[in-house]
């Protein structure tokens, strides 16, 4: 996939989210976070709540440059499956471990350590972490 095709894919995915009430991060925030990840050369990212994978893909495209990896969690089956398709469409599936799980159940079971953690879920539930 060319850089132009990837950019067009991200634009379409963002538009799809806006049209379907999927609370994807803004492009401004995606750029800010990608810059932070890139500056710190974060290799192991944990994303708590992927929805249809827009933010996951933004991060994956950054860390793919230096062989980083992402773990992301989502408990809506529709969102999880959409994300899986989107990861494949932009060729980043190989660097994403994607759990179809309730984050509250799986987080205590994760044994790896991460150097960048992005929590992007229902804000009222954040106190559980």
Ligand X SMILES: C[S@@+](CC[C@H](N)C(=O)[O-])C[C@H]1O[C@@H](n2cnc3c(N)ncnc32)[C@H](O)[C@@H]1O
Q: Which residues bind ligand X (CB under 6 A)?
A: 23-25, 49-51, 54-55, 73-76, 79, 102-104, 120-122
Of residues 49 and 68, the one with the C-beta less far from ligand X: 49
Tokens read off for 117? 């953690």
Of residues 25 and 70, the one with the C-beta less far from ligand X: 25
Of residues 37 and 51, the one with the C-beta less far from ligand X: 51
DSSP letter at 74 equals E
> How many CA atoms within 13 Å lie on the side-chain side of 89?
18
Q: Cβ of residue 48: shortest distance to ligand X, in angstroms? A: 7
Query: Contact at 8 Å (CB) between 37 and 116?
Result: yes
């Amino acid at each position: 996939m060319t850089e132009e095709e990837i950019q067009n894919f991200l634009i379409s995915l963002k538009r799809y989210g806006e049209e379907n009430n999927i609370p994807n991060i803004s492009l401004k925030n995606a750029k800010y976070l990608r810059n932070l990840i890139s500056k710190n050369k974060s290799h192991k990212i944990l994303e708590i709540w992927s929805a249809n994978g827009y933010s996951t893909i933004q991060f994956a495209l950054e860390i793919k440059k230096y062989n980083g990896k992402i773990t992301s969690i989502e408990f809506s089956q529709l969102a999880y499956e959409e994300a899986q398709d989107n990861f494949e469409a932009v060729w980043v599936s190989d660097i994403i471990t994607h759990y179809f799980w309730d984050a509250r159940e799986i987080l205590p079971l994760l044994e790896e350590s991460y150097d960048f953690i992005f929590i992007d879920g229902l804000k009222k539930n954040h106190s559980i972490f």
